[in-house]
Structure 1
Amino acid sequence: MSNVLNVEETLGKLTLAQKIKLLGGLDVWHTEPVPEAGVPSMRFSDGPNGVRGTRFFNGVPASCFPSSTGLGSSFDVELAAKVGGTLADEARAKSAHVLLAPTVNIQRSPLGGRSFESFSEDPHLNGTIAAAYINGLQAKGVSATIKHYVANDQEFERFSISSDLSERALREIYLKPFQIAIKGSDPWALMSSYNRVNGVHVSEDKRLLDDVLRKVWGWKGLVMSDWTGVYSTTQSLLAGLDIEMPGPPVMRGKALDRALQAGKIFPSDIDARARKVLELVQRAQASGIPFDGPEASIDTPEVRQTLRTAAADATVLLKNDNKLLPLKADVKTIAVMGPNAKATMISGGGSASLTPTYAVSPLEGITTAAKEIGAKVKYTPGAYTTKYHPLLDPYIRQLDGTPGALMEFWNDSPTSDFLTLQPNFEKPVAGCAWSTPTSSSYCFMADGIDETEVNLACWIRYSTTFTPDEDGDWEFGINITGKANLFLDDKLVVDLSTVESRGDSWFGLGTADVKASVAGLKAGQSYRIELRLNNADFVSQGVPFTCRGGIRIGALRKIDPQGAINDAVELAKNSDVAIVVVGLNHDWESEGFDRADLELPGLSNGLVSAVLKANPRTIIVNQSGAPVTMPWIGEAATLIQAFYGGNELGNGLADIIFGKVNPSGKLSLTFPKRLEDVPSYPSYGDKGQEHGKILYNEGIFVGYRGYEVKNLEPLFPFGYGLSYSQFQYSSLEASSVSEAAELTVTFKITNISTVDGREVAQVYIADPVSSLPRAVKELKGFAKVLIKAGETEAVSVKLDREAFGFYDDRQSSWVAEKGKFEILVGSSSTDIKLKTEVELEKTITWTGL
């Protein structure tokens, strides 16, 4: 292609200064161009479950797919590839060449704030789903960025913490999903992690970035830093880190000039890194995606169906003791309640968050499906569990009726008493430098503002009308950066201009979330809201990135906590079926912090217990990215794990409940009975750190491996999930093991029910006699098979030397020892249906992929 640069020719033409320029970002989402040499600026975008584009503030809406733990629980490589392909289409629509995904960090503990971003606690499942996702993405010309390399599994002190672990655990558990994904898909980019591994920051660890990644594995892609995750100039360059993000660079640029002058690095070192940047530019040019192009959304019937399919397949049926599900036409009244019923908790927080093109709540999905069988739905909240009140977004409109609000910016205070001035809502304040509409009451102003018009330190007015959907007293909650006042119908509701209220919002640079009640609001009546803010205090703190601060305004109708539970009980008693939707949300699971415990927040457990007593025909739906404890589990006959389901969360859930989709998901994570049973406990997070280090005391016994070696019964085991079908396994056979340690396992599955269904058959390997301690068994293969009612399908799973091997750090190699191995086939890690034995005739060793 004539428009695609020749890497070596271009490298030869570039000056040293131009090469150095390539090694740091231009801004938050773009690489540095060199137009005179034909090198354009590539565009990056978050994240694992959607393509946000280049803006946090007023971002172009995007499709949100289920969280990675949900996608992992589908055990469906075809679905993962389709999700990757759909994300590639959206990346093209947003002119993004590189998607910062997927995340394959192992969930060492369910407390991890970003646990929902990775596919599984098991390396094989994690890496296999990631490979399919990457192949789907890159087949359409969009680069994947596999992340965060490596052992980046907690948010506490994430920039400095050292993950201290054995070489064997590093290789077998934490590096393994990267290794599997690279072997199965060849991602074009990789992101180094913030943390240290055994005392060395990964972004400057030559052993990990060069010796293992490039030399042993033979990978040839680009290594970028996590955002602000470079802490050195010379060390990171020599280690093999190609580009520092975001830009402008802090550790490169002029700092590299100085290092060259000092002889700490040489022009050849610069060439090696610049070459990798140019190679990715070459791929971007070949993709045909425009450079500095427009950003658009894709919202078609085909995309909506893919989102809906993914939401249903990411749902796991955990209990159906009384065969209440699927709901049938004899159900006439359905009570829906719970803190996650009306809200649309589509994703965890942080890098995964985005503005969705649309979103369907569980209540909406259930209500629509109920109409089709002639059932009526009644709703009551029952309990609230948000750390911050839900955003105003569904309830706000500008004066002209357009959804959202108007934001105005001034470079100088338009009045001496701007913050406290009694509002005149319909009269513009003089001297506005720039204004923009916004669709949300969450405004992270790191981008999306005309920097040629608006100073970094500025005055801001956010104005809208608020129309509640329920009569009653409403409580507003706000947190901001700087000083501000919130007015409702010209009356001061929250004073953050004269009252000091420092908190942990906005990366610890904002206020506490301050709440205030307003009595007697009427459903359908519009009320004027105005927030006036000055961000000077925020800017003066020296924020490490360009940002004008943040505004978050939420509200909910006040309820009496016990009265709300009583209302839910009465509604449940008078309904044929009750559905209680509880769980977590992005206030509790997010980048930037870890969870303090595994409990459901607020009065969730009390609500569940009370409703279960009132109506045994109750369906409990838990929505969380990672496990929670369930003290009421003995009383619950029907339980669904919904994860964060993306745009189509509500419809996907309803499809399972009403039987349009036969559930086929299996847990990609072990659900513990209590935090103390988690293998990493107590060496995790702020309570487990030892002077900046976290000791991985459990070694290789992570996830189900840890429960099985200690003979601990979990709440729900890894790989577990029910169906509306019943399956019978038979006829297990294994071919003889070849000299290369390859074999094929075959067996049959019969659907002995009257319902077509899909089954996830899991193949585990056990090594009864080994020179090193090994897990009781390890997942080494799986297959998802559609089996029609009454029919039998033959299943074949191929295994290779990886199925038998362990890492021997004495030899710095993988070893598969000769001897007998057990082949275990089951429907979960604890429900083994078939067993056989194979023999490896001689020991083999290897080092590469």
Structure 2
Amino acid sequence: MKRIIVPLSVLMITTSLFISCKQQDKGEARVDALIKQMTLDEKLDFIGGYQDFNIRGIERLGIPEIRFADGPIGVRNYGASTAYPAGINLAATFDKESAYATGKAIGCEARAKNVHVMLGPAMNIYRAPFCGRNFEYLGEDPYLAGQIAANYTQGMQAEGVMATAKHYAANNQEFSRHHTSSDMDERTLHEIYLPAFKAAVEQGHVASIMTSYNLVNGIHASQNDYLINQVLKHDWGFDGFVMSDWVSTYDGLACAKGGLDLEMPSGKFMHPDTLRPAIENGTLDIKIIDDKIRRILRTYIRFGLFENPDISKGYVPDSQLVRQTALNAARSGMVLLKNENSFLPLKKESLKTIAVIGPNGAPLNSGGGGSSKVEALHPLSLVEAIKEIAGSDVKVEYAKGVVTKERLPNSFFESFKCYTKLDGNKTPGVQADFFANTKLAGDIFVTNTYPSLNLTATDMAMKGLPENNFSARFTCYFQPEKTANYFLGVSGDDGYRMYLDDKLIIDLWQDQGETSQHYQTKLMAGKEYKLTVEYYQAGGDAIIRMNVDAKTSIEIDTADVKNEAIELAKKSDLVIFSVGFDAETESEGFDRTFEMPYQQDQLISEVLAVNPNAVMVLNAGGNVNMEPWYQGLKGLLHAWYPGQEGNLAAAEILFGITNPSGKLPASFEVKFEDNPTFKSYWDADKDLKVSYDEGIFVGYRHYDQSETKPRFPFGFGLSYTTFEYTNLALNSNSIKSGGKVTVTVDIKNTGAVAGSEAVQLYVSDPKSALPRPVKELKAFGKTTLQPGETKTLSFELDKAAFSYYNPEQHVWVLEPGEFEILVGSSSVDIRQKAVLTIQ
């Protein structure tokens, strides 16, 4: 029998990133000397971003220019990169070593592109399935999220690349994210929404923190003194720098005093014109500015950037090692949710024909949308992966089954020619009327003319117009050269509407990342048509594009596409559904639906009616409404957004080459009404406040105390083998307050194939002064076992595992008494129990 030690954190930082106290003192002295040499203008310029993704250098002082890149699941900028599994997939591995390896691999690729600061990991809490960024985040449990984030950070920074923990804090919904306040009590904030960041700071030693777009308890996160100065910098001792998310600052002086060290992507609000007068009149102490610079330069010394600003030497942007890391993480994080009568794994010899049906079958659907989206170096679709694994003796065919609305390429918007009628004359271009609000209300701020409607934030920037709070009405006229069916397209970030001759034909008036819509209609040659596009910008990127094109117009009959899939299903031995969400329907900037888009539910139901031998590979950042089709499936594999190697991992699992071992990092409700946020997730009264009424009872903490049970509990995941838990033991049944206890348990593979098990340890406090959850995850570890093999896992629990936050005392407290130690395979499948007394 083998023995495995699983500490609370896998501390794997290379020694090169540790510096002695003497070296640290020299570093601080060097920073102080540089600050003294900087002029006031240099100081104020330094704390504002430069060229969107840089911190400016100061050549005369030898301060190098520093380069940033998105994001948490691959190096998005500067060309194609390895597309890694999304954060939610990484959380589903329940594997700290996988998190470390992923962070390290991304760090390697960042170095190859000479990127010094990566904008990840993302670690906000999964509160409800709608949040457009859930796929980037690390699940519903703060301990799980914290441990995955800390180890990811350690791996990345071991490669000499700074990690950035984001988005601090409480970015748990994307709708109206620039304007909505996440309102909660102090205990909820400290027990649920801050611990992952604390772990990234105290265990991961993260170099930087990024604030969120939203407000927290009525104060913007980027200027929130309580969150940044009091909690992060004072209480946790964070000595790195705090940056804003891109275009998420609103008041330069408030940000400066509130603890923000770096405004990105530029110093628009923390600008010299704003801060210099405040310093000169005594409103702002220059020591505050010096501290910001000190925090930034301190990280340069820690990561050796003064001596070695070009960190790309010896690194390549693509290697078999990083591809293998991405594949391993995808394999380990996929969760088998259903396997009726052991229908899986599939047997090649019993199959002659396979139908892959659904919009995600091809091409690769590697990740959700927004700033985390990576252009994959080696895209592999599920159809291609199934063909590869099934072999040449099995015929694999594909039918999309639904009509999707894919984002139109930028080149589509460059050719359309139209004219305005300003002053009664026909002038080439588009008339643009801007308003200094998001509602097209009041007087026109300014009227401009553009050659075409293909505009970004730079095109629309003008003095006096709010960067994140404006709207515009674009008007033009055109005459088609020929009678034909035309394709009218709009793409925008945020909301937009299109009118043809004053008739509304496209309506997507909501906060969102860039999304495309199109409308098809017959237009007559020589007839004049009026086109109007209304647009508003609420935050993030500002993009609005429009075109009319006959060449791109293809009449697609939705019924024909679905019928093609049904006919294919009829003649196939097996159906593999490849369905769910994609980068257009699940993305930062807006919240998604519980139901899958593109009428996929109807497609699945009709296909199941003609061929019940069907399994599903589901892509989503969380739960979806499974009611219409769950009972009819033989198998269900939740693949999340698994990155460029993920479809190979899914095919391996379906055919038994890889044994599934992922566990759900979030509880999956039967219907949204079962979720504790059902009455409070949306801003129903439009007061721009979201009240976290469920308090600390998020996810399984809610279901444990509720009569309503989820479809699948937190920590759940099936395997092709079975595991036995025995011999739970404590090294002491009684410890003093503040002491530690070691917990051991034996895990045996009692099945016929090798497999990995994610062992979960929960702590229960049956009696406390304040209400506590029935149990809380406090340790976990993953182990791989051959058939018949047994291993002992060991966990060490300290004071933090038994404490809760007391809002009256404003501290974490540990009450003496009896605690239960619960070890199991999920939050409801508890296999072993023990009692610990804390004196």
Calculate the TM-score normalised by the size of structure 1: 0.81
Query: For residues 612 and 273 of structure 2, what CA distance do their matches in structure 1 show?
Result: 69
1:369 paired to 2:369: no
1:793-816 deviation line (CA, Å, top 9, x unaligned): 111111111111110011111111
Query: 2: CA distance between counterparts of 1:708 and 1:556?
Result: 53
Equivalent residue number for residue 180 of structure 2: 161
The residue that corresponds to 1:703 in the other structure is: 699
- 1:130 and 2:149 matched: yes
Query: How far 1:678 sits from its partner (Å)?
Result: 1.1
Residue 78, structure 1, aligned to residue 97, structure 2: yes
The aligned residue for residue 783 of structure 2 is 785
Shift of 1:152: 1.4
**Aligned position for 1:220:** 239
Structure 1 equivalent of residue 756 of structure 2 = 758
Q: Aligned equivalents of 1:505 and 1:64: distance in 2? A: 31
> Structure 2 CA distance, aligned partners of 1:158 and 1:97?
28
Q: Residues 682-719 of structure 1, C-alpha deviation per residue, up to 9 Å, x if partnerless?
A: 211343x5522111100000111111211321111110
Task: Return the offset for 1:142.
Answer: 0.5
CA positional deviation for 1:409: 13
SS at match of 1:513: strand
Query: Is 1:678 aligned to 2:675, yes or no?
Result: yes
2:518 corresponds to which of 514, 517, 525 = 514
Query: What is the SS of the residue equivalent to 1:838?
Result: strand
| Structure 1 alignment gaps of length 5 or more | 54-58, 394-403, 421-441, 449-472, 483-493, 520-534, 842-849
Give secondary structure in 2 for the equivalent of 1:110.
coil
Q: Report the alpha carbon displacement of residue 34 of structure 1 after superposing the two structures with TM.
A: 1.7
Q: Which residue type is aligned with residue 401 of structure 2?
A: G
Structure 1 partner of 2:633: 636
Task: Say yes or no: does 1:50 pair with 2:69.
Answer: no
Give aligned-pair identity as a percent.
Answer: 38
Alignment of 1:388-427 (within 5 A): 388-389=405-406
Distance 1:149 1:543 in 2: 20
Which residues of 2 match residues 122-521 of structure 1 at below 5 A? 122-286=141-305, 290=309, 298-330=317-349, 331-371=351-391, 374-384=393-403, 386=404, 388-389=405-406, 478-480=489-491, 503-504=507-508, 513-516=517-520
1:16 aligns with 2:40: yes
Q: Which residue of 1 aligns with 2:666?
A: 669
CA gap 1:553/1:840 in 2 versus in 1, 3 angstroms: farther
Give the 3-state SS of the residue equivalent to 2:784 in structure 1.
strand
Task: Give SS of 2:151's match.
Answer: helix
Residue in 2 that maps onto 1:399: none
**Cα distance in 2, alignment partners of residues 600 and 187 from structure 1:** 36
Q: Which residue among 732, 743, 746 is the counterpart of 2:744? A: 746
Residues 1:37 and 2:61 are matched in the alignment? yes
Q: 1:107 to 1:547 in 2, by over 3 A?
A: closer
How big is the shift at 1:620? 1.5
The partner residue of 1:607 within 586, 589, 603 is 603
CA separation of 1:75 and 1:443: change in aligned 2, threshold 3 A: farther
C-alpha distance in 2, partners of 1:825/1:711?
A: 23
- Contact kept, 8 Å, 1:326 with 1:659, in 2: the verdict is yes
Helix, strand or coil for the counterpart of 2:632?
coil
Q: 1:783, CA displacement in angstroms?
A: 0.7
Look up the SS of the partner of 1:286 in the other structure: coil
Q: What displacement does 1:81 show?
A: 0.9
Q: 1:365 to 1:243 in 2, by over 3 A?
A: same
Aligned equivalent of 2:130: 111
Q: Give, as a single letter, the amino acid of the residue that structure 1 aligns with 2:681.
A: Y
2:416 and 2:610 mapped to 1: Cα distance? 54
Distance 2:710 2:538 in 1: 44
Q: Which runs of 5+ in 2 are unaligned?
A: 1-22, 421-425, 431-452, 460-483, 524-530
Amino acid at match of 2:363: A
CA distance in 2, matches of 1:575, 1:792: 42
CA separation in 1, counterparts of 2:532 and 2:268?
25
Q: CA deviation at 1:536?
A: 13
Q: Does residue 593 of the first structure (1) align with residue 586 of the second (2)? A: no
Letter in 1 for 2:111: R
State the partner residue of 1:423: none
Q: Is the 8 A contact 1:260 1:266 kept in 2?
A: yes
Aligned pair partner of 2:652 in 655, 660, 682: 655
The alpha-carbon deviation at position 391 of structure 1 amounts to 5.3
* Equivalences, count: 752
Give the conservation status (yes or no) of the 8 Å contact 1:585–1:624.
yes
Q: Are the counterparts in 1 of residues 209 and 243 from structure 2 also a CA contact under 8 Å?
A: yes
Structure 1 match to 2:623: 627
- Contact conserved, 2:127 with 2:698, CA < 8 A, in 1? yes
* Residue identity matched to 1:809: P
C-alpha change, 1:516 and 1:295, in structure 2 (3 Å) is farther
Equivalents in 1 of 2:359, 2:373: separation in Å? 20
Displacement of 1:147 in angstroms is: 0.8
Secondary structure in 2 matching 1:319? strand
1:242 is displaced (CA, Å) by 0.7
Residue 454 of structure 1 corresponds to none
d(CA) in 2 for partners of 1:283 and 1:538? 49
**Aligned partner of 2:616: which letter?**
I
1:594 aligned counterpart, secondary structure? coil
- Counterpart amino acid of residue 479 in structure 1: V
* More deviation, 337-346/547-556: 547-556
SS at match of 2:820: strand
Residues 1:770 and 2:768 are matched in the alignment: yes
The whole-number CA distance in structure 2 between the counterparts of 1:209 and 1:821 is: 34
User: Post-superposition shift, 1:349?
Assistant: 0.9
1:88 alignment partner in structure 2 = 107
Which of 561, 568, 571 is 1:571 aligned to? 568
Displacement after TM superposition at 1:329 (Å): 2.5
CA distance in structure 1 between the aligned counterparts of 2:501 and 2:317, rounded to whole angstroms: 42
Larger mean Cα displacement after TM superposition, 233-242 or 581-590 = 233-242
Tell me the distance in 1 between the aligned counterparts of 2:695 and 2:368: 28
* Matched residue type, 1:660: I
Amino acid at match of 2:705: V
Q: Which runs of 4+ in 1 moved over 6 A?
A: 1-5, 292-297, 404-410, 416-420, 494-502, 505-512, 535-539, 541-548, 551-557
Quickly say closer, same or farther: Cα 1:499–1:188, change in 2 above 3 A.
same
User: What is the Cα deviation at residue 251 of structure 1?
Assistant: 3.3
8 Å Cα contact 2:62/2:306 also seen in 1: no
Q: Is the 8 A contact 1:509 1:538 kept in 2?
A: no
Deviation of 1:40 after TM superposition, in Å, equals 1.9
What SS does the aligned partner of 1:185 have? coil
Question: 1:746: how far off?
Answer: 0.7
Task: Kindly provide the amino acid, as one letter, of the partner of residue 733 in structure 1.
Answer: A
Measured at CA, do residues 509 and 155 of structure 1 come closer, stay the same or move farther in structure 2, by a change above 3 Å? closer
**Alpha-carbon shift at residue 546 of structure 1 (Å):** 9.1
In 1, the alpha carbon distance for the partners of 2:375 and 2:31 equals: 37
CA separation of 1:811 and 1:405: change in aligned 2, threshold 3 A: closer
Alpha-carbon separation, structure 2, partners of 1:181 and 1:625 = 22
Structure 2 SS opposite 1:578: strand
Deviation at 1:639, TM superposition (A): 0.7
